[in-house]
Structure 1
Amino acid sequence: MSHLLVIDLPGGNDSDVLQAALALGHRFTLASADPAHYRGQPELAPLLDRAEAVLAMPADGAGWDGPLAAAHRANPFDAIVCLQDLRLVESARAARALGLRHISPETAALCRDKAAVRARLAEAGIAQPPHALVEAGPGAGARLIDAVARVGLPAIVKPVDGFGSQHVFALRTVADLGILRQLADLVAQGPGDYGLGMAARGALLVERLFDGPVLGCDVMRAGGRQVLLGVNEKIMAAPPSFAILGGCFTAHCGQFAALDTWLARLLDAVGFDDGAAHVECVMTQDGPQLVEINPRLVGARIARLIGAALGRSVHGDLIRLHLTGGLPPAARTLRHAATRWLIAPEQGVLAGIDWPPCTDPALVGVVANAHRGDPVRPALDNADRLAMVMTAGSDRAEIEALAERLVAAAHVRLRVPEPASCIG
């Protein structure tokens, strides 16, 4: 039985890694700058009761080294796992200090800066699209407009340290550019506070926007050796939304060999050695164009999707990798797993969701993202989605059709708040 240090949870609520650790017979400690955020969630509280400890860490990650070292002396950790973008650097730094297997602090810091990744890949001889960095501070709005002019349309604007499609803007037309000019100072302020005790850096990256299928590629690496688990082809919402409406993950049985080679070149260039990486790209007529490298396992419950296709827990795979350096086996059977997200038809307060009955064994489950009483709206980013239907099987067309039927038949009940009245 090993002792895992888990640093924060993806999405601030995804407990799958904790459940995988317990299913494998391991003990865990959770570290966070905001433990109350987790303790306040009824579905998480019973899991936290089973933790060795829940460590309340300083909001400033620079102060984590001492408390984690003290916790290790009292109850040694065998591995450190972090699936939350906001604390990847702290996780990597702690792993190095304690001699545990993990990506390096240098790689973690590099991958948390999308502009720095572009520069590193260019240095490695990997062609990059036009892009420009806009630092925060006085005059950032004007510098943002200038950066867009240099990159040209179509362009995308996103935080250099962002995640989850938050605070992302697509500029496709002259009309879009006109709107940006009106809102440039506001957009240039960045997303502000990411939550869990973390503020955004505020810098923005402007880069060329490519059209084509959006792919999520999930890789595990140990000592530089690599296994591509598979590829998730995403379905994006119509502009201006950047929400992902669904997708289909296909296990890699050798058919993605060229993509696997390209991914290895990217990950070698950024020094990625041990752990999981989620690499997003757009498949264009000229080949894949990198969107971003995320130095952690995919979030938004998509790890469950991968597990449904592969027939095992990928969180379990990741835990074993960190503990032993062993890579998961390559898939031998071509299987698929699909998702479709339910979206609120209008703004309001969620009163409930009525799902149609389904006994089809291809239905893996329904995962809620919003709960009764939550304010909801048509999705502008991933955080706005209501619930995900997940299906799996060997026939891609059948499982995608099933997921689409269930979402189409679901009924979203909303309570629209009445406008406040003025008396007197």
Structure 2
Amino acid sequence: MAGKYRVAVIGGRPAPVTNAKELGIDVVLVHEEGAYEESVLRHCERVVHAPITDGQAVLDVVKPLHEERPFDRVLTTTEFAGESTGFVVDALGLPGVTEATARALKDKVLTRELLDQHGLSPVRYRQVKDVDDVKDFLAEVGGRIIVKPADGVASLHVHPVDGDADAEHAWQALQDAEVASVIAEEYLDGPVVSVDSFSHAGRHLPIGYSEYRMNDKYVEWEVSTPSRVAVPHLDALFALTPKLLDAVGLTEGPSHSEFVLTKDGPRVLESHARLAGSGAPELVRRAFGVNLDRMFLTVPLGIDTLPETSPAPIGGAAVRFFTPEPGTVSAVEVEDGAADVVRTLPKGEVPLVFLPYLHEFTEVEVAAVISKNVGDVVPPLLTVADCVSGYVMASGTDAADAVAKCDRANDKIHFRTS
């Protein structure tokens, strides 16, 4: 029997479509062959294959299905399919994240332009065309700048620049990486925090707020919520976030916005029209009692209503990625009591989700996953995508307690590399 609702989900991870059938939602998954967990199919009406970043290709497989039985929404959980999903949303005339909004969030130059137009979050920036542009902007700012891809993700190719030699190195590295569009921004000094929100009919509700620990490459290897450092700035963050989302034209669905807490107040770092990565929806569920994965489907369809007010924390949660020394793994040693549950990814298995087994740990206070075996290679931590050695997730009475539990687990799990 067909469900009451029908949605197409483009790419991404399986968690948000779990229990869709029980909610009366038929899900058509559009994904690339071999790029999704087979287990997700039991929650779906069907799967169709297409390159998920190609809007026309996705439309070509979705439109005939829409003509047979219309979709209520076309959605995605992944950054890579944001613009292509928006293309399909526009082509089918459906509510949701438009291609223009997806592009405005992906292209950091457009984001900055829109913020400027709305008088929000003043940050000096410039789209730079060559190394001389970088040097000119550095001189104009008179202090450290950041040079990075305008459409970058996962902290990849982010270069701090303090002088002309740094500018030349950064520009050459970006050219070697074949980065087509480069933005230079003034360096924002202060801790990075994020706000996870949900929107419906143009109303934006900030829900969770997190903070990070990161390395010198700006790779975030720990996320904890609720953020302690954000508390003095919470009113400002909760006021700025809806204005940011209005500026980029977002009216519906989840969003994840990152800010730097400068001496002059919060400044926008970037924002995304999707559920956050690094297990953030599970962190929010543990710390705030709000299920963003469920809301991903139920709020747009009217099954659940968007709460009127932001929730207060009910506890704390954290996820910490293991960060062993780069090299070939010679041993993995786990001390007794490292975590309530410890899982190891079978040797040779390549996970198709960033945090494997996460859905199995909803009732587990401290859970750890070891994703490297003897003989596997640990890469240097140059981007969030290099956080592939495993993780520990914990609940606590507050964020500090959850972080302490993650630290204790990390100290009892030893990767030997050479």
TM-score class normalised by the smaller sequence: 0.7 to 0.9
Letter in 1 for 2:126: A
After superposition, the C-alpha distances for 1:269-313 in whole angstroms (9 at most, x for unaligned) are 222111111110011121001101112111122221111112343
CA distance in 2, matches of 1:24, 1:351: 45
Of 398-407 and 181-190, the range deviating more from structure 2: 181-190
How much does 1:129 deviate?
1.5
Aligned with 1:293 (options 233, 247, 271):
271
Letter in 1 for 2:319: T
Letter in 2 for 1:384: D
Which residue pairs with 2:90 in the alignment? 96
1:326–1:293 Cα change, 3 Å: same
Which residue pairs with 1:347 in the alignment? 327
1:244–1:356 Cα change, 3 Å: farther
Say whether the 8 Å CA contact 1:20–1:313 is kept in structure 2.
no
Over aligned residues, Cα RMSD in angstroms?
3.0
Of 393-402 and 14-23, the range deviating more from structure 2: 14-23
The reply on whether 1:213 has 2:191 as its aligned counterpart is yes
The reply on whether 1:384 has 2:398 as its aligned counterpart is no
How much does 1:131 deviate?
0.9
Which residue pairs with 2:409 in the alignment? 406
Which residue pairs with 1:163 in the alignment? 153
CA distance in 2, matches of 1:320, 1:355: 42
The reply on whether 1:54 has 2:33 as its aligned counterpart is no
How much does 1:178 deviate?
2.0
Q: Aligned to 1:265, what secondary structure does the other structure show?
A: helix
After superposition, the C-alpha distances for 1:26-52 in whole angstroms (9 at most, x for unaligned) are 3322213x32233xxxxx123236533
After superposition, the C-alpha distances for 1:347-389 in whole angstroms (9 at most, x for unaligned) are 2248646364234987242355666664313422211222222
The reply on whether 1:187 has 2:194 as its aligned counterpart is no
1:67–1:403 Cα change, 3 Å: same
Which residue pairs with 2:73 in the alignment? 79
How much does 1:332 deviate?
4.3
CA distance in 2, matches of 1:364, 1:5: 34
Which residue pairs with 2:219 in the alignment? 243
Q: Structure 2 matches for 1:313-332, cutoff 5 A?
A: 313-324=291-302, 326-328=305-307, 330-332=310-312
Q: Aligned to 1:163, what secondary structure does the other structure show?
A: coil
Which residue pairs with 2:144 in the alignment? 154
Q: Aligned to 2:403, what secondary structure does the other structure show?
A: helix
CA distance in 2, matches of 1:115, 1:255: 26
How much does 1:215 deviate?
0.3
How much does 1:62 deviate?
3.5
Which residue pairs with 1:178 in the alignment? 165
Say whether the 8 Å CA contact 1:215–1:281 is kept in structure 2.
yes
Which residue pairs with 1:198 in the alignment? none
Q: Aligned to 1:188, what secondary structure does the other structure show?
A: helix
1:263–1:333 Cα change, 3 Å: closer
How much does 1:134 deviate?
2.7
CA distance in 1, matches of 2:390, 2:73: 32
CA distance in 2, matches of 1:380, 1:118: 25
Say whether the 8 Å CA contact 1:144–1:188 is kept in structure 2.
no
Letter in 1 for 2:33: P
Letter in 1 for 2:172: D
Q: How many residues align?
A: 387
How much does 1:315 deviate?
0.7
Say whether the 8 Å CA contact 2:316–2:395 is kept in structure 1.
yes
Q: How high is the sequence identity, in percent, across the aligned residues?
A: 26
CA distance in 2, matches of 1:83, 1:152: 39
Letter in 2 for 1:17: P
CA distance in 1, matches of 2:333, 2:28: 35
1:84–1:165 Cα change, 3 Å: same
Say whether the 8 Å CA contact 1:108–1:295 is kept in structure 2.
yes
Of 249-258 and 80-89, the range deviating more from structure 2: 249-258
After superposition, the C-alpha distances for 1:81-106 in whole angstroms (9 at most, x for unaligned) are 21111211221232233343312222
TM-score, normalisation: structure 1: 0.81
Q: Aligned to 2:34, what secondary structure does the other structure show?
A: helix
Aligned with 2:38 (options 29, 41, 45):
45
Say whether the 8 Å CA contact 1:344–1:379 is kept in structure 2.
no
CA distance in 2, matches of 1:94, 1:133: 29
Q: Structure 2 matches for 1:130-149, cutoff 5 A?
A: 130-135=124-129, 140-149=130-139
The reply on whether 1:311 has 2:289 as its aligned counterpart is yes
After superposition, the C-alpha distances for 1:208-236 in whole angstroms (9 at most, x for unaligned) are 11121110111111112121112101112
After superposition, the C-alpha distances for 1:234-291 in whole angstroms (9 at most, x for unaligned) are 1122x2x221121321299999333211112212222211111111001112100110
1:48–1:370 Cα change, 3 Å: farther
1:345–1:306 Cα change, 3 Å: same
Letter in 1 for 2:367: G
Q: Aligned to 1:266, what secondary structure does the other structure show?
A: helix
After superposition, the C-alpha distances for 1:154-190 in whole angstroms (9 at most, x for unaligned) are 111221111111222223x44xx52442463332354
Of 320-329 and 117-126, the range deviating more from structure 2: 320-329
CA distance in 1, matches of 2:169, 2:390: 34
CA distance in 2, matches of 1:410, 1:189: 37
Say whether the 8 Å CA contact 1:101–1:323 is kept in structure 2.
no
Q: Aligned to 1:37, what secondary structure does the other structure show?
A: coil
Q: Aligned to 2:20, what secondary structure does the other structure show?
A: helix
Say whether the 8 Å CA contact 1:233–1:249 is kept in structure 2.
yes
Which residue pairs with 2:101 in the alignment? 107
